[in-house]
A and B are shown apart, each in its own frame.
Chain A
């Protein structure tokens, strides 16, 4: 179960890497013409304000902790002047520089806990999830009734995750992991679909988010790992002693590649989708032509449908692999 089993993820990963690199090159060369890479990166990366369209931005709170000044909370609008240009002198010793927060004095260290665009969408996603699933749960208050409305929409998905993903891969004591798996699946699904909305943040395509989720699965896997699991890693049965010394580092790497592959698969799939869609939209502005505009718009509609599919598949795959890892760690010896 390593990343090498999924060459597509690896390819997308390198493509993004390449993209980032080339776009930064382009950005330096042509300042006045349309900067596609800059536009795409601006949409994909996090920000301290929620810019719905150019010029209309919702300021978000900035939360900074520094050793000298303690905890500081202020609106991100204080970093800009009336014309929406970042202030050179900054505010409270911090200035906005190319989507990043920088201290005015060079060597000041600080912890940035701001409610950024992605955190805003994170809160939005979880609130939506809580509202939706409490509504779904309310549908079950009457006993033994056929599901209706929003309950009927989500019940088959919940049952699919329970029966075909969690129960099948984890086995008899699946019920302990079910709340985590369901939350994981719907968090990724909701995040992916919300991310496809116009002007939405690229939440599940952010490596911090995918990394956190992967680490949760990693911790859950290794904390629930039984005797057989650890024995298999440190004292692989059925092979001669000198081989065991060789196998041990491979096994340890194997444990660590699991969260890495989870992190990168989701991050790459979602970010790549956003990049492709934005690139096709960007063509319109590069070629400055109606013809290209109409065709790229049509193409983007199709791509959005594909992305919708990818959103569901990636949520499913992340949950599936989490279940498989936990299932492998908890299964009895063969």
Chain B
């Protein structure tokens, strides 16, 4: 039965020593340990959260970059297309103007030719008129003499004209 009877001395010391251990440990061990554990847990939680935020930010930055890139690409394409258009239009214009110029040159040449031709025609006409007058003069002159010689004279005259031509 001695096993089941609590000894007074041990009871007394157990109360005193356990309570003082509790007091000492609460103040010098449990309090700092618990505070540090809590602080560390909070630190880890915060770190995880900020890491998550950073990741999200990274993703958003990446998507922004992508957007910028596609925009830049689009702009480039637009610029190239415009440049092509400008160059094409410039080419067309140049062609047009060249054609116009050529047309004008040709027209001018034609005009010059026409005027020259008219001039020449007029000259020829004048010459012809002169010749005709000459011929008529000579014929009239011959009519005064014999008929036969007259005829021969006309023929000679025509021959003469033809040769001179």
Contacts and interface: CB of A to CB of B under 8 A. Distances in A.
Contacts, number: 124
A211 B13 CA distance: 13
Contact of A209 (B10, B29, B30, B33): B10
Interface residues of B, number: 35
Nearest to A20: B3
B22 to A, nearest CB: 5
B11 interface: yes
12 contacts: A16-B3, A20-B3, A129-B21, A129-B25, A130-B28, A134-B29, A141-B32, A179-B25, A182-B25, A182-B30, A183-B18, A209-B10
A183 B9 contact: no
B17 A208 contact: no
B79 interface: no
Query: Chain B's interface: helix, strand, loop or mixed, by majority?
Result: helix
Interface of A: 16-17, 20, 41, 44-46, 63, 100, 111-116, 118-119, 122-123, 126, 129-130, 133-134, 136-137, 140-141, 143-144, 155, 158-159, 162, 175, 178-180, 182-183, 187, 206-209, 211-213, 216, 271
Contacts of B125: none
B13 A213 contact: no
A63 B26 CA distance: 29
Nearest to A120: B13
A208 B11 contact: yes
Contacts of B14: 122, 208-209, 212-213
Contact of B7 (A112, A158, A159, A216): A112
B145 to A, nearest CB: 151
A119 B13 contact: yes
Nearest to B24: A130
A158 B3 contact: no
A136 B17 contact: no
Contacts of A122: 10, 13-14, 17
Contact of B8 (A45, A111, A155, A182): A111
B112 to A, nearest CB: 102
A20 B2 CA distance: 9
B29 A136 contact: yes
B83 to A, nearest CB: 60
B39 interface: yes
Given A44-B3, A129-B21, A134-B28, A212 B37 contact: no
B8 A212 contact: no
Return the 3 tightest CB-CB contacts between A and B, nearest first: A208-B6, A140-B36, A133-B29
Contacts of B32: 137, 140-141
B3 A41 contact: yes
A312 to B, nearest CB: 19
Contact of A207 (B4, B8, B21, B31): B4
A16 B20 CA distance: 32
A207 B17 contact: no
Contacts of A182: 25, 30
Given A122-B13, A126-B17, 5 more contacts: A113-B8, A113-B13, A130-B25, A178-B30, A207-B5
Interface string B37-49: 1011001000000
B133 to A, nearest CB: 133
